[in-house]
Structure 1
Amino acid sequence: MKTKREDSENAADEDGVAKRQKLTEDSSPQLAFENPILSLASYDDDEEEEDEARRDGNGGKHVNNGRKEEGNGHNYSEDEDDDDEEDEESRVGQGKRSRAIEVRRDCPYLDTVNRQVLDFDFEKFCSVSLSNLNVYACLVCGKYYQGRGQKSHAYTHSLEAGHHVYINLRTEKVYCLPDGYEVIDPSLDDIRHVLNPRFSREQVEHLDRNRQWSRALDGSDYLPGMVGLNNIKETDFVNVTIQSLMRVTPLRNFFLIPQNYIHCKSQLVLRFGELTRKIWHARNFKGQVSPHEFLQAVMKASKKRFRIGAQSDPVEFMSWLLNTLHGDLKSLKKGSSIIHQCFQGELEVVKEIHSKHIAEKKENGDNQNNENGDDGGTEADKVMTETSKMPFLMLGLDLPPPPLFKDIMEKNIIPQVPLFNILKKFDGETVTEVVRPRIARMRYRVTKLPQYLILHMRRFTKNNFFVEKNPTLVNFPVKNLELKDYIPLPAPSDNEKLRSKYDLIANIVHDGKPGEGSYRVFVQRKSEELWYEMQDLHVSETLPQMVALSEAYMQIYEQQQ
């Protein structure tokens, strides 16, 4: 049995608990207003916990329209765009939250939408809070704002500026603020298509047959796939590389359909896919594209080796980009990717090392005669020979040295060399001498040809003092480069035909002095077999004869099927 004293103690405890609850209830709505900055930035705790749980369940990834999005450390869930409104209600203390959002087909403010100012090429960050969480674009002035609840930046902007129509940059839903209802109107579909271009597999297959020009909002005409790229500051080396890769049909088709790389979390892959879709989109509002988000992903992935504001070499960039994309895309089972399917060939390398160098090394206590990894090592005539197979994504060609003396007119004679002369490096007989890592004589022979062959002419030589550029012109065919006439090729298997004819599809050129200068690219448009010269935003039609007169630096050839 309980005593009276115990009963009175229990009653006192219950009173205390009730008072504490009342105190917290009274004080909680005031907290939202005591710190105005906190109220703008914070989201409802319950919502965040739900998000955490969902995030753990999904492994932190979100798939939307075949496109995965990872912010800078922020992952957000499907219903988050509804959260602002609801947590405003909960903070102000207006009873229960309602998930329902009013949907209207008519909005009196749709005529204020200004497509001229919309630009979705830049990073999706709020222009006030710099957060990438739950960002909306104002369709009247084009600026980005966060949230749409009563204390959000978008809501404030709608009251201050009188701009009422906003699109969620992730879900592509359109809302009218401050009223907060969702607008469903087919006239806004063109904006959604510019924000996130979509291609069906059928459209992708017919891209190379399309001869139709598109018209931008300013009245200028452009060709889908032949649009200029903005030079954000000395980023022409990126622009020419992207424009060249856009001519590689299997690579382009792969990146035009996001389902092909839906499993990939790499920002570089996602941004490259996004950029590919924007370049080939036929309903853009303007006739050029800014590769800004792609460049940000490049800077991050390359640890600022390639960055905005610093000129780099397109050959180095191409090599880095292909290897990084392959590493991000390769499947665990096969270890292959679309990059290797397009560009990977194979070389047989025969290395001869004179035994006196080996003897010197032995005396120095270094007994590494490359014994492991030797396919065949014979020490006859005091020469050690190693044969190995080596995959390649591009082939480097050595140019003959330019003449030292000037002619009567006081100008250097610019020598010319046929492409076939410098291709002899890969005939299996021509000897190339290398100094590093040790002096050796190398012979190369191509044992497998790739579908797309990348050649680069070694124009730049660095010494201790400066970089020199070799001005030698290379004479090359624009169509029907027949390799089997100049280099021995492997015999094809019984049911296969030897494919050794190639056509040029892209030619990167360097103009100006080494270390300075600029890059431009000649590319072929397949639907009409016309050539275009592209330098950043400038795109102009040119003659095939002009392509062959330039100082070629890197070329992509396509195998004839």
Structure 2
Amino acid sequence: MEKGHYRSDDESDTELVLKKFKTEFPLCPYLDTINRQVLDFDFEKLCSISLSRINVYACLVCGKYFQGRGTNTYAYTHSIAESHHVFLNLHTLKFYCLPDNYEIVDSSLDDIKYVLNPTFTEEQIQQLNTSDKMSRAIDGSLYYPGIVGLNNIKANDYCNVILQGLSHVTPIRNFFLREENYVKVKRPPGDSSFLLVQRFGELMRKLWNPRNFKTHVSPHEMLQAVVLWSHKRFQFTTQGDPIDFLSWFLNALHRALNGTKKVNSSIINKTFLGSMRIHTRKIPPVDLEEKEKHRLLQLSEYAVSVSESPFLYLTCDLPPPPLFKDEILENIIPQVSLTSILEKFNNQTEKEYKTYKDNFLKRFEITELPPYLIIYIKRFTKNTFFTEKNRTIVNFPIKSIDFGEYLSKEAKTRYKNTTYDLIANIIHDGEPEKGTYRMHILHKPTGQWFEMQDLHVTEILPQMITLSEAYIQIYELKT
């Protein structure tokens, strides 16, 4: 029998265990001082005074982070000075009462633990695309998991739209919601890029958390990782370009997951990697005589060369806007259909590319279609002095777009289905380098489209989506 726990004649084993439990984990009289409204676990887990990441505790009364638990530590001093007594260790997820320094074990605190570290079972993940159940935040507002706003710290809307878009690509989402899918990936000694994968996984779980305290999430930790591993190329204090961020981010995740050039080497390649064939021919200088041109065309360097090239997204070019506008046409914005800008990939349309000394004509045809197709509509052209924006509206159907006509002949025989549905549409508003980004996203269980701009989330009619200046689109292959 343990010291201090003597059994009386009429005491059962269960009662004895309860008695021991109450002695080791006394009931805390301060649990009603916890303020769930101020709890925000989206920020970096570091002490608000010493900026140390070691042994950090969150005060559950005011929401601030402090280091340590022993006498004279910042958390201990805060508990005495402010009479805030309940703390959570952000690493071990254990609760403590300070300054008395005893552990609190109470099932009523499980919701706080889940907000800090949401977890998903395989069954829960399978239901995400079919469950239309709404969740309720602490303030009573309703939200759909996955359709939550992202905080704009200063100028990170260009990152937010990409992170939101990727969170609705089913294979990417399902992979990152379960930490065991990537926790065993081994990186070389001294390489810390895997933290980018962990941060993205944490953000994904918070976006899809059905028990969030708030209807928005702050991507603060995720963006800190982006700034660090992009060597400050992408900041959240200055506006950037979503396509640059998307390209870098997908490649960085792919490398951190030990991905190679093979299609099945990472979840990124499995989801987005396609392949195209490029036919290139060099064209002689324009100012040459016909005879000289003819002679050059006989040389091997002017023959057509064929190369295979993988792609994570397709770049579509807009027709140049009219140079001169009359009074009537001044207010008319030019329009073009998506099929006409996709003709670049039909293996017939030739596009001219100039280098500093040579000119080339290229034809493109797609040889492999990925399960999710990203289309980038090139709206900005940069010259020596400034950046110009092409405001041409692209008309596109939201459902059943057939990409089969852009496949090479032999590739067509391999695909039973080549039609895609739109699931995400990123838009640029305003002037180049100064404008803002927003997006439209499809909520699959309800079939409802939502417009998301940082913290603002509103329902939108599908017919309104095509009226915007689309910039990046994500399409899903119909199965």
How far is the alpha carbon of 1:123 from its aligned partner? Answer: 0.5
Matched, 1:111 2:32: yes
Task: Report the AA paired with residue 529 of structure 1.
Answer: G
Partner of 1:325: 253
Task: Report the AA paired with residue 507 of structure 1.
Answer: N
Which of 258, 266, 272 is 1:343 aligned to? 272
For 1:424 and 1:162, locate their aligned partners in 2 and report how far apart those are by CA, in whole Å: 69
Partner of 2:305: 386
Which of 473, 484, 489 is 2:393 aligned to? 473
Which of 90, 101, 105 is 1:180 aligned to? 101
Partner of 1:269: 197
Which of 304, 307, 312 is 2:240 aligned to? 312
Contact 1:407 1:413 in 2 (8 A): no
Partner of 2:225: 297
TM-score (norm 1): 0.75
Matched, 1:133 2:54: yes
Which of 407, 411, 417 is 2:330 aligned to? 411
Partner of 2:459: 541
Larger Rg: 1
For 2:77 and 2:298, locate their aligned partners in 1 and report how far apart those are by CA, in whole Å: 81
How far is the alpha carbon of 1:151 from its aligned partner? Answer: 2.3
Per-residue CA deviation, residues 112-149 of structure 1 (Å, 9 max, x unaligned), is: 11111111000111112110001001111111111111
Per-residue CA deviation, residues 321-344 of structure 1 (Å, 9 max, x unaligned), is: 101110111357967100000000
Partner of 1:214: 135
Matched, 1:286 2:214: yes
Contact 1:352 1:440 in 2 (8 A): yes
TM-score (norm 2): 0.88
For 1:382 and 1:145, locate their aligned partners in 2 and report how far apart those are by CA, in whole Å: 67
For 2:261 and 2:333, locate their aligned partners in 1 and report how far apart those are by CA, in whole Å: 51
Kindly tell me: are residues 192 and 462 of structure 1, through their superposed partners in 2, closer, same or farther at Cα, counting changes over 3 Å? same
How far is the alpha carbon of 1:416 from its aligned partner? Answer: 1.0
For 2:85 and 2:345, locate their aligned partners in 1 and report how far apart those are by CA, in whole Å: 65
For 1:232 and 1:549, locate their aligned partners in 2 and report how far apart those are by CA, in whole Å: 28
For 1:330 and 1:545, locate their aligned partners in 2 and report how far apart those are by CA, in whole Å: 42
How far is the alpha carbon of 1:413 from its aligned partner? Answer: 2.9
Kindly tell me: are residues 486 and 386 of structure 1, through their superposed partners in 2, closer, same or farther at Cα, counting changes over 3 Å? closer
Which of 381, 384, 388 is 1:464 aligned to? 384
How far is the alpha carbon of 1:380 from its aligned partner? Answer: 5.5
Contact 1:355 1:382 in 2 (8 A): no
Partner of 1:155: 76
Kindly tell me: are residues 506 and 397 of structure 1, through their superposed partners in 2, closer, same or farther at Cα, counting changes over 3 Å? same
Partner of 1:431: 350
**Residue 411 of structure 1 aligns to a residue in which SS?**
helix
Kindly tell me: are residues 122 and 445 of structure 1, through their superposed partners in 2, closer, same or farther at Cα, counting changes over 3 Å? same
Kindly tell me: are residues 355 and 417 of structure 1, through their superposed partners in 2, closer, same or farther at Cα, counting changes over 3 Å? closer
Partner of 1:124: 45
How far is the alpha carbon of 1:355 from its aligned partner? Answer: 6.4
User: RMSD between aligned alpha carbons?
Assistant: 2.1
For 1:103 and 1:209, locate their aligned partners in 2 and report how far apart those are by CA, in whole Å: 45
Which of 220, 224, 227 is 2:148 aligned to? 227
For 2:298 and 2:23, locate their aligned partners in 1 and report how far apart those are by CA, in whole Å: 85
Gaps of 5+ in 2: 1-21, 186-191, 289-296
- Summarize the alignment of residues 37-116 of structure 1 with structure 2, pairs less than 5 Å apart: 103-116=24-37
Kindly tell me: are residues 136 and 560 of structure 1, through their superposed partners in 2, closer, same or farther at Cα, counting changes over 3 Å? same
How far is the alpha carbon of 1:384 from its aligned partner? Answer: 2.6
Of stretches 315-324 and 435-444 in structure 1, the one that deviates more from structure 2 is 435-444
Matched, 1:554 2:475: no
Kindly tell me: are residues 412 and 383 of structure 1, through their superposed partners in 2, closer, same or farther at Cα, counting changes over 3 Å? farther
Gaps of 5+ in 1: 1-100, 360-377
For 1:302 and 1:507, locate their aligned partners in 2 and report how far apart those are by CA, in whole Å: 25
Task: Report the AA paired with residue 394 of structure 2.
Answer: V
How far is the alpha carbon of 1:464 from its aligned partner? Answer: 1.2
Matched, 1:448 2:368: yes
Matched, 1:531 2:449: yes
Contact 2:367 2:407 in 1 (8 A): no
Which of 124, 132, 146 is 2:67 aligned to? 146
**Residue 129 of structure 2 aligns to a residue in which SS?**
helix
Kindly tell me: are residues 379 and 349 of structure 1, through their superposed partners in 2, closer, same or farther at Cα, counting changes over 3 Å? farther
Task: Report the AA paired with residue 422 of structure 1.
Answer: I
Of stretches 394-403 and 145-154 in structure 1, the one that deviates more from structure 2 is 145-154
For 1:136 and 1:162, locate their aligned partners in 2 and report how far apart those are by CA, in whole Å: 16
For 1:103 and 1:380, locate their aligned partners in 2 and report how far apart those are by CA, in whole Å: 88
How far is the alpha carbon of 1:102 from its aligned partner? Answer: 7.1
Which of 414, 417, 423 is 1:505 aligned to? 423
Contact 1:345 1:392 in 2 (8 A): yes
How far is the alpha carbon of 1:383 from its aligned partner? Answer: 2.0
**Residue 554 of structure 1 aligns to a residue in which SS?**
strand
Contact 1:148 1:180 in 2 (8 A): yes
For 1:393 and 1:301, locate their aligned partners in 2 and report how far apart those are by CA, in whole Å: 20
Contact 1:403 1:412 in 2 (8 A): no
Q: Identity of counterpart residues, as a percentage?
A: 54
Contact 1:420 1:486 in 2 (8 A): no
Partner of 2:320: 401
Kindly tell me: are residues 425 and 497 of structure 1, through their superposed partners in 2, closer, same or farther at Cα, counting changes over 3 Å? closer
For 2:434 and 2:261, locate their aligned partners in 1 and report how far apart those are by CA, in whole Å: 44
For 1:105 and 1:528, locate their aligned partners in 2 and report how far apart those are by CA, in whole Å: 47
Per-residue CA deviation, residues 76-131 of structure 1 (Å, 9 max, x unaligned), is: xxxxxxxxxxxxxxxxxxxxxxxxx9731511111111111111000111112110
For 1:388 and 1:210, locate their aligned partners in 2 and report how far apart those are by CA, in whole Å: 45
Contact 1:114 1:140 in 2 (8 A): yes
Contact 1:356 1:382 in 2 (8 A): no
Kindly tell me: are residues 500 and 410 of structure 1, through their superposed partners in 2, closer, same or farther at Cα, counting changes over 3 Å? closer
Of stretches 148-157 and 306-315 in structure 1, the one that deviates more from structure 2 is 148-157
**Residue 341 of structure 1 aligns to a residue in which SS?**
helix
**Residue 457 of structure 2 aligns to a residue in which SS?**
strand
Contact 2:366 2:406 in 1 (8 A): no
How far is the alpha carbon of 1:318 from its aligned partner? Answer: 0.6
For 2:468 and 2:47, locate their aligned partners in 1 and report how far apart those are by CA, in whole Å: 45
For 1:404 and 1:331, locate their aligned partners in 2 and report how far apart those are by CA, in whole Å: 46
Partner of 1:7: none
